[in-house]
Structure 1
Amino acid sequence: MTRKWRPSLWLVLGGALAGTLALSLAGIVALRYLGPEIGFRHAAVLLAAIIGLLTAILWLMLLRVLLRPVTALAAYAAAMRAPGREAVAPPEHFGTRELHDMGLSVIDMAATLSNRETTVRSFTNHVTHELRTPISTLRAATELLEDSADLSPADRHLVAQVRGAGQQLDRQMEALRQVAAARETDYRGHTRLPEVIAGLAPRHPGLRISQHGDDVLLPLTMEGAEIVFSHLFENATVHGAKTVSVETRSKAGLLVVVRDDGRGVSAGNRERIFEPFFTTRRESGGTGMGLHIVASLLRAHGGRILLEPATEGSGAAFRIEFPQA
């Protein structure tokens, strides 16, 4: 990325078009004068060879100035998002001035995103590490106090609340780790939805799960798909659902609609259900991270999840979209 002169894109394209036009006109003029001298057939063969050689040289110049920098930048972007990547060297050749500016912008954006991922991971690791010791201390202290025979009922109630708070902190830390894993782990691959449902059905014995629609491949590995649908099935279970239907459509991208017959989502909570730590089940152990984990994982792999509009007398319906299946 040393400083050197780089032609503008308009100069390269304009020069290529002008050179092509000049070769054509020069060939016509040369054929007019060479034809009578060496014969039109020989002149045509000679001029075709010369024009072909000069056109090949022009093509090689365009290949070096335009195609190679674009290909190198695409390879750099692919290497940056690859799982388990190490230090990736940025491209050295950018061709034109405009491609140089675009390349530097892409490299800067990739570095910014990488730094953000590192910050999130470091913060998550730091928080979970720092909280592990006090949580263990709380757990040990509450166990000792519960074994004491001198506690009054009010004291035992207080100790139970402290123990519950420690368990809640433990669940929140695990949820934070899952969110970080959903954002950073690469689950790119392909999995058939019936195989995912067949693997998850025994884990949710209280649900009757049905699947219908197009036979599609989910653009996720089996592990990634299980994380997404396991959270959705668990969400349906805790909201009183007995049946879940999974509908798939593959027209204009991949669409999966997961619909249950539970209590649904109230109007006041619909805008917040994908927010981290938002839950209506705090007292019963809810962390409010399940749907946020699903949304983060899908967003990191080119998809998204939406809550479908509420229908009178029905449960919740979640819409998963991938632009390309």
Structure 2
Amino acid sequence: MSGMRVVDVNANVVASTQQDERKASVHHHPDVQAALAGEFVKILRERDITPEPASLHGLARNTRIRVVVAVPLTIDERVVGAVVAWRTPISLPKGLYENRVVFGTLLGLFLFGVFSITALTSLYIGRPIKRLIDHTERVTLGAKSATEPIQKPGTFEIQQLSETVAQMAATLESRADYIKAFARNVSHEFKTPLTSIRGTVELLQDHLDTMSPEQRDEFLAMLDADALRLQRLVARLLELARADVARPGQDSTDVVALLGQMQTERTSGDFTVALSAPVERVWVKMGDEALRSVISNLIVNAQQHGATRTDITIEPEDESVAIVVADDGPGISAANAEKVFDEFFTTARDKGGTGLGLSIVRALLNAHGGEVELLESERGATFCVRLPLGHWANI
């Protein structure tokens, strides 16, 4: 709503767009007072009367505020009157109503966008997550199919999560299979001496009074041998368990000094340990006790299989140290070469072998970032132990 009036120097309305204002006085209006004083005025002013309710097409009539512009009229630099123009600013409801097509279109586009985003979220996130939840439930139940990632993961992040869950499932399945096989082997290894002990005890209970002293001593020796075997098995199992959960620390060991000590300790009248090192000191990233256990198991393994000499060679490399342990025993056949690191595999059970020594060696080295392998050799068995290099120098 807009209008205009012309007033004289006394603020009486000379002409107006509103018929009822003619000859009326508007001297009380501050905009008129300022214009008659010679000022150009732009103000916001509240209407004199309360607006009556209007239809949607006349929503601006409901507004109580007006924008007023007053301009003085001058002749020969003397104010003779003023021109006042006003306009009611458009209200928010009227603005929305007049632009209803635009706002309706925007609202429709917004709702379409929300629907599209919801549909895409369901397609690329919701459904893959549901499949991933089903996948994790299969992992919980131990299903064999849980080792494969879900198909059509939708997003890269869900794909990574699915692959991680599949890898975890494969690791758990492998660990479970290992535990089952290990339990079977432990049961078998314990069953033999326990059966022997049980049978010997029954014989002693039934025939102790009629046995000669020599027979009693023979049966008691059998009991002692079986008990010692069980003791060795328990000790080896504890050692293997510690090796499986071992974590590398910050310790480093001078392998030349340690093997020099072991050479003195292990050399006897019927067994020789020879040591060859191109440097006087070389360090590996492994603690003294763990490295001693690795080398001791290799030397004991050689002794149990009839070797009389073990040659240990230290070979520093760029980022690692190779320790080659070779013996003069009967060697390892091609058929047994693939099984030497399996738990409870041994060909020297009658000499006290438990089949856990090389498994302990491999577990300790894996925990410290090292490795062990069986090398081909013309005589005896040759193992190569490789560990990360600490620091070494000639002195």
Partner of 2:266: 204
Give the superposition deviation at 1:191: 1.2
Which residue identity lines up with residue 282 of structure 1 in the other structure? R
The 1-side partners of 2:165 and 2:253 are apart by: 32
Of 317, 327, 341, 1:274 maps to 341
1:319 maps to which of 358, 374, 384? 384
Matched, 1:230 2:292: no
Distance (Å, rounded) in 1 between the aligned partners of 2:172 and 2:253:
28
The alpha carbon displacement at 1:98 in A equals: 3.8
- Distance in 2 of aligned mates of 1:324 and 1:242: 27
Q: CA deviation at 1:294?
A: 0.3
Alpha-carbon distance, 1:299 to partner? 1.9
Tell me the distance in 2 between the aligned counterparts of 1:241 and 1:99: 59
Structure 1 residue 305: Cα displacement: 0.9
More strand by share: 2
Aligned length: 225
Corresponding residue for residue 170 of structure 1:
231
Segments of 5+ residues of structure 2 without an aligned counterpart are: 1-120, 122-154, 391-395
Q: Is the 8 Å Cα contact of residues 216 and 250 (structure 1) preserved in structure 2?
A: no
Kept in 2, the 8 Å contact 1:303–1:322? The answer is yes
Secondary structure of the corresponding residue to residue 277 of structure 2? strand
- Alpha-carbon offset, residue 228 of structure 1: 0.5
Give the CA deviation at 1:297.
Answer: 1.3
Match of 2:47 in 1: none
Residue-by-residue CA offset, 1:215-246 (whole Å, 9 max, x unaligned) = 53222111111110111122233332234222
1:213 alignment partner, SS class: coil
What are structure 1's unaligned runs of at least 5 residues?
Answer: 6-96
Residue 194 of structure 1: aligned partner: 256
Partner of 2:285: 219
Which amino acid in 1 is paired with 2:225? G
Relative to 1, partners in 2 of residues 1:150 and 1:279: Cα closer, same or farther, differing over 3 Å?
Answer: same
> Residue type of the partner of 2:247?
D
Amino acid at match of 2:381: A
Tell me the SS of whatever aligns to 2:240: helix
Counterpart Cα distance in 2 of 1:198 and 1:101: 53
C-alpha displacement of 1:270? 2.3
Please say if residues 259 and 317 of structure 1, whose CA atoms lie closer than 8 Å, have aligned partners that are also in contact: yes
- Letter of the structure 2 residue corresponding to residue 213 of structure 1: P
Could you say which residue in structure 2 is the equivalent of 1:151?
211
TM-score (norm 2): 0.45
Q: How does 1:1-325 map to 2 (within 5 A)?
A: 98=156, 102=160, 116=175, 150-152=210-212, 153=214, 157-188=218-249, 189-206=251-268, 207-213=272-278, 215-238=281-304, 239-251=306-318, 253-311=320-378, 314-322=379-387
Q: How many percent identity over aligned positions?
A: 25
Q: Distance in 1 between matches of 2:328 and 2:317?
A: 24
Structure-2 change in CA distance of 1:283 and 1:199 (3 Å): same
Paired with 1:213 and 1:101, the residues of 2 have a C-alpha distance of 51
Q: Over the residues paired in the alignment, what is the CA RMSD in angstroms?
A: 4.4
Q: Is the 8 A contact 1:183 1:297 kept in 2?
A: yes
Question: 1:256: Cα distance to partner?
Answer: 2.1
CA distance in 1, matches of 2:273, 2:247: 30
Once the two structures are TM-superposed, the CA of residue 254 in structure 1 deviates from its matched residue by 3.3
Distance 1:227 1:106, change over 3 A: farther
Residues 119-154 of structure 1 deviation map (CA, whole Å, 9 limit, x = unaligned):
96xx79x98xx99xx89x97x969x97xx6642455
Contact 1:191 1:222 in 2 (8 A): yes
Identify, as 1 or 2, the structure richer in helix: 1
Give the conservation status (yes or no) of the 8 Å contact 2:327–2:380.
Answer: yes
Q: Secondary structure at 2:337's aligned position in 1?
A: coil
